[in-house]
C-alpha cells in the first residue's frame, strides 16, 4: 500500500502477457470509441435546395445613416394572435414591446402561419410607424418578414429571434 491508494490489480492481456489494470469509470464490456462514434452518428441536417429561390434585387439607392436611424426596430413578444374577422390574410397581434402597454400590429401573413403557433414567439417590429387603420383596427407598427419566391410562388418567413431577448430590446 502507498498512502491511501489501493494496490494496483494485475491481469492477463489477450497476448498472454501480464498487465497492470487501472480503475476506470466505464464498464469493461463497453464498445471502443471508434465503434461508438460509428453507431451513434449525429443526425444529418436536412439540406435545403436554394437553387430555385428568387429574391428581390437589392436597392440601388443608398440611404444615409440618419434616415436609417429614424426606424425604431424592437424585439416584441407575441402575447396573443388571432385571425381578423372578414379577412383571409390578416392576423392581429397583441405584443409586449417593453413599454408596459400592449401594442397591436396587423400583418397579412395568415397564408403562412396559424395564429396559435405564433403565441409566445419573439419577433422583430418597427415600432415608430404612424398608426394605420386596417379593417377598422389601428395597426401600430410592422412585423419584419423575409420574402422570397420559389417556383413562381411567394414564400414568407416571419423573423423570429431567440426567446432570451427581452421585449423592448432595440436593434442596431
Average pLDDT across the chain, whole number: 83
Burial 149-171 (b: 16+ CB within 10 A, else e): eeeeeeeeebeeeeeeeebebee
Nearest to 95 by CA among 42, 54, 140: 140
The band of 140, judged by pLDDT with boundaries at 50, 70 and 90, is very high
Is the pLDDT confidence value at 117 over 60? yes
pLDDT of 10 higher than 80:
no
CA distances from 138 to 36, 103, 106, 130 (A): 59, 10, 8, 10
* Phi, psi angle pair for 151, to nearest 5°: 50, 45
pLDDT over 90, % of the chain: 58
Q: What is the pLDDT of residue 60?
A: 83
Average pLDDT over residues 146-161: 92
The confidence score (pLDDT) of residue 105 equals 98
| Mean pLDDT on 27-32 | 57
**Which CATH number is 53-161's, of 1.20.1250.20, 2.40.50.140, 1.50.10.20, 1.10.760.10?**
2.40.50.140
Kindly indicate the confidence band of residue 52, based on its pLDDT and cuts at 50, 70 and 90. confident
Residue in this structure with the C-alpha cell 500500500, named with its chain if needed: 1
Lowest mean pLDDT among 13-27, 99-113, 114-128: 13-27
pLDDT at 40 over 90: no
Whole-angstrom Cα Rg for the chain: 29
Amino acid at each position: 500500500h502507498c498512502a491511501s491508494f489501493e494496490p494496483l490489480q494485475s491481469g492477463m492481456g489477450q497476448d498472454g502477457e501480464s498487465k497492470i489494470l487501472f480503475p476506470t469509470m466505464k464498464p469493461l464490456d463497453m464498445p471502443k470509441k471508434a465503434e461508438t462514434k460509428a453507431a451513434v452518428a449525429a443526425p444529418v441536417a436536412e439540406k435545403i435546395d436554394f437553387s430555385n429561390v428568387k429574391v428581390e434585387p437589392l436597392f440601388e439607392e443608398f440611404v444615409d445613416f440618419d434616415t436609417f436611424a429614424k426606424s425604431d426596430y424592437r424585439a416584441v413578444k407575441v402575447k396573443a394572435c388571432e385571425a381578423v374577422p372578414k379577412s383571409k390574410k390578416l392576423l392581429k397581434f397583441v405584443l409586449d414591446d417593453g413599454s408596459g402597454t400592449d401594442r397591436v400590429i396587423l400583418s397579412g401573413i395568415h397564408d403562412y402561419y396559424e395564429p396559435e403557433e405564433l403565441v409566445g414567439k419573439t419577433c422583430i417590429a418597427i415600432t415608430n410607424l404612424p398608426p394605420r387603420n386596417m379593417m377598422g383596427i389601428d395597426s401600430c407598427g410592422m412585423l419584419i418578414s423575409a420574402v422570397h419566391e420559389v417556383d413562381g410562388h411567394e414564400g414568407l418567413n416571419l423573423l423570429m429571434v431567440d426567446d432570451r431577448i427581452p421585449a423592448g430590446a432595440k436593434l442596431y
